[in-house]
A and B are shown apart, each in its own frame.
Chain A
Amino acid sequence: MIIYLTCLLLFLIGIYCVAVKKNLIKMIVGIVIMEYAVNLFLVSIGYRWGGVDPILEPNIYNLTYVSPLPQALVVCTIIIGLATTILAVAMAMRIYEKYGTFDITKIRKLKG
């Protein structure tokens, strides 16, 4: 149970970071924290107490295996997250070139 609460806490910290922080880089960090929270959640729902890695071997039965599917999903989401982060950082760099600041309150050409 405690691990799920940790995930929720991390997720909320990430949302707070995205919503409140004024610095573009800190907002990206917030997204990354949220992503890790979800990844941790996905891995932990596949975990079984005392489970071993799910590889079938001859003559060994009655073992508890951890679920391999969430692990595969997490590898996939990490890659997607990497792509998102790279794109976000690249955009933040270009914005810095244009405005000379990372502060979102000073980057306001648009009305919103």
Chain B
Amino acid sequence: MNHWLPLFIAVPLAGAILSLPLSRINRKLPPWLALGVSFYLLLTSLLLYFIKSPEAISVYRIGGWAAPLGINLVLDGLSQLLLLVVSLIACLVTIYSMVYMERYTGKEKYFSLCQLMLVGMNGVVLTGDLFNLFVFLEIAALSTYSLVAFGTEAEELEAAFRYLIIGSVASLFILFGIGLVFSVTGTLNLAEIASAFPKGLGNLRTLITVLFLVGFGMKAALVPFHAWLPDAHTAAPAPVSATLSGVLIKILGIYCLIRIFYNVLGVNPQLLYVFSLLGLISILVGGGLALFQWDFKRLLAYSSISQVGYILLGIGLGTPLGIGGGIFHLLNHALFKPLMFLNAGAIETSTGTRELKAMGGLAKKMPVTFITSLFGSLSISGLPPFNGFWSKLFIIVACVQAGRFWAALIAVLGSVLTLAYFLKFLRYAFFEKLPPALEKVQEAPGIMLGVTVTLAMLCLLVGVFFPYVAAGILNPAVLVVLEGVKP
């Protein structure tokens, strides 16, 4: 079973490389290859839950070399949850792209880059080596820079260039931090660093913490470092925005923060306080700015900043309930934000515009998209019985339990803000009067609707059956994070 782990990286890598020559034989092959690869990943990551207890840790030694010499791939509860989320979103997004990307040329390059992004994300999640983590992080980041610029119009190029500059600076901060960690401990293996990293270290420890916090904070688009995210998410094709917002910022940002600080370097109360403070600022600023947006993809992008703030707030509380809420919100956000971005793509395909002011009355013309948007909006705003309700409830209750009433108040306020901007989105897009230019609007193609309906159903099912989800896949992940806050 351990031998499955490298396949999570090798199979999409092979797919990415094979896509280009295969397109010479038949232009229709690369999309089907990408679909096959992502379906295989989904199947194996689901199977892992049945053949192995999620609490157990399995290790694969690359090339048979033991830990300090070779690189390990490590699968624990947290990585298993994230593998499942990445594969699920990748599979749905690939199906959606097969229709959506019809308008672009060079589709084989798109599918190749998408699979390269999967290589990076799966690698980051699985690797047990600090430098290897950096390499996979760069693979994922480089492929997303090109995916954001995929339209090669002026706006896309500008957004991608800004993303590239900020992303590269972030990567170099991380690399500098890795160099410092190596100079202190003399090893790059995560488990060995965890035991070798000295407790007191004074200023050097602070420097390492700040470098990692700023680097991964830029990747996760926490508020002082969020400048790239609205542009990149708006400019990218809808399926790419869905992957970026749904999984990429969480894997490259939040997961790496959790892994490095909770499981490797160790956290202290001050650092946890900084985490929850960054989360609170992100909730307020992201939510507040989303309220004033008229381009609906930009609205969704700012909403992502705000929701990532919730995840960080929950994790920063350091209590079991807070961490549980944070990880659950991570899972939920990976379901409803891709749903909203894919709905946005469907509306854009049908109406040809992203401006909320230029649309209206679409509820009659696009009933299925309306229902799925309603599901997504309700669940992201935290209304029962959808999944977002439970995770936000957990986070708010955990804030109160930890005695942070201000944090709880801001979290509630952020939730109200979320409801406000999604009601704005629903009102201007689906109610009001239908403008004459949109009289002939058709519902989006069936395959795209199938994907959004699946995601909407998942939002509802995870909300209704959340005790089973919590027991089955959430608890093992939370236990891994809780290891880090044990006194």
Contact = CB atoms under 8 A, between A and B. Distances in A.
A84 B142 contact: yes
Contact of A24 (B149, B159, B161): B161
Given A84-B164, A88-B161, A112-B227, A42 B179 contact: yes
Given A31-B169, A35-B172, A98-B157, A41 B164 contact: no
Interface in A58-112: 69-70, 73, 76-77, 80, 83-84, 87-88, 91-92, 94-95, 98-99, 107, 109-110, 112
A38 B179 contact: yes
A41 B178 CA distance: 11
Contacts of A109: 154-155, 158
Contacts of A15: 169
B157 A110 contact: no
Contacts of A92: 161
Interface string B228-262: 00110011000000000000000000000000000
Contacts of B165: 18, 27, 31, 88
Interface in A17-33: 18, 24, 27, 31
B183 interface: yes
Interface in B151-176: 152-155, 157-162, 164-165, 168-169, 171-172, 175-176
Contact of A38 (B135, B152, B172, B230): B172
Contacts of B131: 73, 76
A91 B227 contact: no
A9 interface: no
A107 B156 CA distance: 12
Interface in B375-406: none
A3 interface: no
B300 to A, nearest CB: 15
Given A94-B152, A110-B231, A83 B142 contact: yes
Given A27-B165, A69-B188, A92-B161, A87 B155 contact: no
B152 A18 contact: no
A110 B227 CA distance: 11
Given A94-B157, A110-B155, A88 B164 contact: yes
Contacts of A91: 145, 149, 157, 160-161, 164
A34 B174 CA distance: 12
B146 interface: yes
B169 A80 contact: no
Contacts of A95: 154, 157-158, 161
Nearest to A35: B172
State the main secondary structure of chain B at its contact with A. helix
Nearest to A80: B138
B160 to A, nearest CB: 6
Most A-side CB within 10 Å, residue of B145, B154, B172 = B172
B146 A41 contact: no
B197 interface: no
B225 interface: no
Interface in A38-67: 38, 41-42, 45
Given A45-B179, A69-B188, A110-B231, A87 B169 contact: no
Contacts of B230: 112
A98 B154 contact: yes
Residue from the set A24, A80, A112 with the largest chain B CB neighbour count within 10 Å:
A80
A86 to B, nearest CB: 10
Nearest to A14: B172
Nearest to A91: B161
A112 B183 contact: no
A95 B164 CA distance: 13
Nearest to A95: B157
B431 interface: no
Given A45-B182, A94-B152, A110-B231, A31 B160 contact: no
A60 to B, nearest CB: 23
11 contacts: A34-B169, A41-B176, A45-B182, A80-B142, A84-B142, A87-B142, A87-B164, A88-B165, A92-B161, A94-B149, A99-B154
Interface of A: 11, 14-15, 18, 24, 27, 31, 34-35, 38, 41-42, 45, 69-70, 73, 76-77, 80, 83-84, 87-88, 91-92, 94-95, 98-99, 107, 109-110, 112
